[in-house]
Amino acid sequence: MLVKTTLLFFITAIAEIVGCFLPWLWLKKGMTAWLLLPAAASLALFVWLLTLHPAASGRVYAAYGGVYVLTALIWLRVVDGVKLSTWDWVGALVAFSGMLIIVAGWGRA
């Protein structure tokens, strides 16, 4: 369950980031407003993906946050081309570890 949940969280994070990045391109980079349509679809996918987890919503959101931090930093490196610092990686590791701890406890609370 841990691997499946983690992979689903990564897909969820990509959907959220794309859903926010496309309007950013429109507002900050002067690209077409038509980007709002796939952005809305991506955010709808993001919300739906969050509902696929078997835990209570608050636990899902808390655990998801750890994967989101790691995914956002990877996006920063790959898409934005920003070199990550040691502090970025340590922070991502701490957040991701928190997700693993929370998910490991699902069904035991």
Question: Mean per-residue pLDDT for 86-107?
Answer: 95
Place of tokens 């956002």: 72
Q: Where are the domains of the chain?
A: 1-105
Mean pLDDT across the chain: 95
- Classify each residue of 55-76 as buried b or exposed e, where b means 16 or more C-beta atoms within 10 Å of its C-beta: beeebbeebbebbbbbbbbbbe
**Alpha helix stretches (DSSP H) within 1-109:** 2-29, 36-50, 57-78, 86-104
Model confidence pLDDT, tens digit, residues 27-64: 999 999 999 999 999 999 999 999 998 898 999 999 99
Cβ pair 102, 65 in contact under 8 A: no
